[in-house]
Amino acid sequence: MSEFENKSSQNIIAAQVLIEEALFTPSIHCSYYSCLQLCKHVLKYIIKISDQQIKDELGKPNLKSHELIREGILDNLKGKLNDKEYMNFNSTFNSLKRSREMADYTETDIRRELAMESVEKSKSLTAIIKRQYGT
């Protein structure tokens, strides 16, 4: 197990524990990073592609690290998922990202429902990644 896989597992556990403790904002943060870290593991250890290779292949030299990881995994999933699955994966990932940004960068009062929804989205994305890449 890579350290990225380990961190991914720890973050989804942390998200659930934080919800139990009514700490909803950091729970969303952990849900998002659980998914992102698993994507990083897949890119680095399964697909075996570097950050620079992703930038070069996508023709986007100025991508930030989160976008680089997201774009890299999405690009690779295009040939693995049917159109509906791909669009659902992309939409769910974007939704989870928006929730994380709201939790981290706004004064929005984060409720239990959004935190639970974020855990479920992260688990859903993780299941797809594990099914497609055997992690």
Q: Which of 130, 96, 131 is nearest to 116 (CA)?
A: 96
- Where exactly are the structural domains of the chain? 3-133
Helix or strand or coil: residue 13? helix
In sign, the C-alpha dihedral spanning 43, 82, 33, 8 is negative
Gap between the Cα atoms of 91 and 94, Å rounded: 5
- Given pLDDT bands bounded at 50, 70 and 90, which one contains residue 70? very high
Average pLDDT over residues 57-70: 79
More confident residue, 56 or 85: 85
CATH assignment, 3-133: 1.20.120.330
- Angle (CA) 30-86-61 rounded to 5° is 70
pTM of the model: 0.92
* 2 pLDDT more than 90: yes
Average pLDDT over residues 85-103: 97
If you write DSSP's letter for every residue of 102-122 in order, what string do you get? Answer: HHHHS-----HHHHHHHHHHH
